[in-house]
A and B are shown apart, each in its own frame.
Chain A
Amino acid sequence: MTGELYDPRKTFGAAVTAAAEQDERIVVLSADSGGSSGLGGFLARFPERYLEFGIEEQAVTGVASGLATMGKIPVFCAIAPFVTCRNFEQFRNDLGYMRQNVKMVGRNGGFTYADLGSTHHSLEDYAIMRMIPGVTVLAPQDAGEIQGAVKAMLRYEGPVYMRIGSGTVPQLFPSDDFVIGKGRRVRQGSDVTVITTGYTTISVLEAVDVLMAEGLQIDLLCLGTVTPLDDELVLASARRTGHVITVEEHYPRGGLYGAVAELLSQTFPVIVHSLAVPHIYVPSGPYPDLLRSYGLDAASLEVEIRELVSRRSKGDQVAGLPPAMMSRAAPDK
């Protein structure tokens, strides 16, 4: 890990532009969203392959489908809820059902658009996309994986949804080894499995390293792909530790927790705890405050993981976080 920080959107845009040098089928679609998605460089380099449509995400999704029929590889990036919720039926029918080779990218995922409020948050995109048969769901975890995931999804034939955040991210992983459907076992241990995805991994890694220095043995799985889940990696780790904690900037239902629980409940049933955003419309505010409020910053994760492992090792088979900690994550009354 280098100390340097990168803008995920610029990293994404540069990777698409670089890939487009090699593959003239790649076209960029913008719903007044390309420039703020880091694709200004693409526009300058390939103006004829950059199509602006204004703000109409439903039709742009249909257009992407039609372009794919004509052999193009459309890349459409906008604010995450507008390319997952707003256009859901177009995604399901025009891309999923039609099996089109379209790459949809939701930026400012999770609640990274913190102060803009719930209309601009995306805490259900993994769940929504997981429900569409045949859609691959990527959540690159750092600047390296954003580059790798872009290359991988553009080589892959079929509909892909990728979530990226905003702000800045470090580089944790190489930029050239991203494999769709394969996670990374980044730390090895036998006390507990921690599974993370997306840029949440950055805070999780920080917390895990503190806990491991204390002596906790953590099997840390970092997944750049939500769907298809790396079943083999998850199952093998659950067998080693017998206790799983998932961490994601998403609602608990339907996302990474849902995927892991669905797998383990019928293969190797163990306790699976979720550290996620409660199922509410979260208040707006500075991003670090939101992370702290919902227990997803490194310091909170450290406390929560320690507590969950401790309760589990005392033989508490079912309990989650104690009430005092859960209250932090409860909706405002």
Chain B
Amino acid sequence: MNSRADELAVDAARARRLVLRMLEAGHSGHIGGALSAIDIITALYMNELAIDPANPNEPGRDRFLLSAGHKAMAQYAVLALRGFFPVEILDTYGAFGSRTPGHPDMHKLPGIEANTGALGHGLPIACGMALGARLDRLSSRVFVLMGDGELPEGSNWEGAAIAGHYKLDNLVVFVDANGLQISGRTSEVMDMAPIAEKFRAYGWATDEIDGNDMAQILDILTRLPLAAGRPSAIIARTVKGKGVAQLEDTAASHYWRPTQAELDAAIQQIEAQIGALQLEATR
């Protein structure tokens, strides 16, 4: 591991702790996908995106869209870590009128670029942003995180066609491929494999990584776009519920309402991971 990856792994673990803090406040939420995607989201916000928390609407900024909007807890945690808003806002999770609703609302929090949550919406919106950046000759890039469970939505493939047709090499998709959705294994619910081949058929360049391995995430980010003149799709193999033993690789982690004892155990595990990773990073 290089040292930057070690530092970011600590950030990701801290973000996981903030997700649990939201559950302490709100008592339940879509934690499984939040924990599978959080390493990628951490790497993007802490290391990659051209963004400024003090000036979140700068026109030339990079954009990040959480197409799988139910993973919002991960985005809120990382935005707070990155300084977009005070971390105390996370303690309103689940409350009436909260600025951290179950799915993101761009009018409630700085740093949120779209009101996602209905699946299959992120990529077409991102295509519009990427086209707009091109029309204005802005260097902005657009990143989208999709879940593998949302891939059957047809509008995704309409968006995939647009990005390929317009050769949007300022557009990058991460598919958080944790292989699970509410009803079970994605391969059994609706098998969309092979995912990379589907994107390639639409004119995309693709690669596959371990999406919970910070070194691999950082490495792929240095190689963007994966091919000149093509949008990039990165199939990130992840573990649903990553970091909490009880939740890992379970469909039940999709939406979790823990008992106090379960939540305490999860917090203990994540805090132990933070400690171990900090040690690693300073070694």
Contacts and interface: CB of A to CB of B under 8 A. Distances in A.
A70 B162 contact: no
B158 A66 contact: no
Interface residues of B, number: 34
A69 B127 contact: no
A90 B121 contact: yes
A143 interface: no
B115 A70 contact: no
Contact of B128 (A49, A66, A89): A66
A71 B155 contact: no
Tell me what chain A mostly uses at the interface: helix, strand, loop, or mixed.
Answer: helix
B118 interface: yes
B124 A62 contact: yes
Interface of B: 59, 63, 105-107, 113-118, 121, 123-133, 135-136, 138, 142, 154-155, 158-159, 161-162, 165
A93 B132 CA distance: 20
Given A94-B121, A98-B114, A66 B155 contact: no
Contacts of B126: 66
A65 B107 contact: no
Contacts of B131: 51, 63, 66-67, 70
Interface of A: 27, 48-49, 51, 53-54, 56, 58-72, 74, 89-90, 93-94, 97-99
A59 B127 contact: yes
Residue with the greatest number of chain A CB neighbours at <10 A, chosen from B106, B161, B162: B162
B155 A62 contact: yes
Contacts, number: 103
Given A98-B106, A99-B107, A48 B129 contact: no
A97 B69 CA distance: 14
Given A27-B135, A49-B135, A71-B132, A61 B124 contact: yes
B124 A98 contact: no
18 contacts: A51-B131, A58-B154, A59-B155, A62-B123, A63-B159, A66-B114, A66-B126, A67-B132, A68-B128, A69-B132, A70-B132, A71-B59, A71-B132, A72-B132, A89-B121, A93-B118, A94-B125, A98-B115
B63 to A, nearest CB: 8
Q: Which 10 A-B pairs have the closest CB atoms?
A: A66-B128, A70-B132, A62-B124, A59-B158, A63-B128, A59-B124, A56-B158, A66-B129, A67-B128, A66-B125
A63 B127 contact: yes
Given A27-B135, A58-B155, A64 B115 contact: no
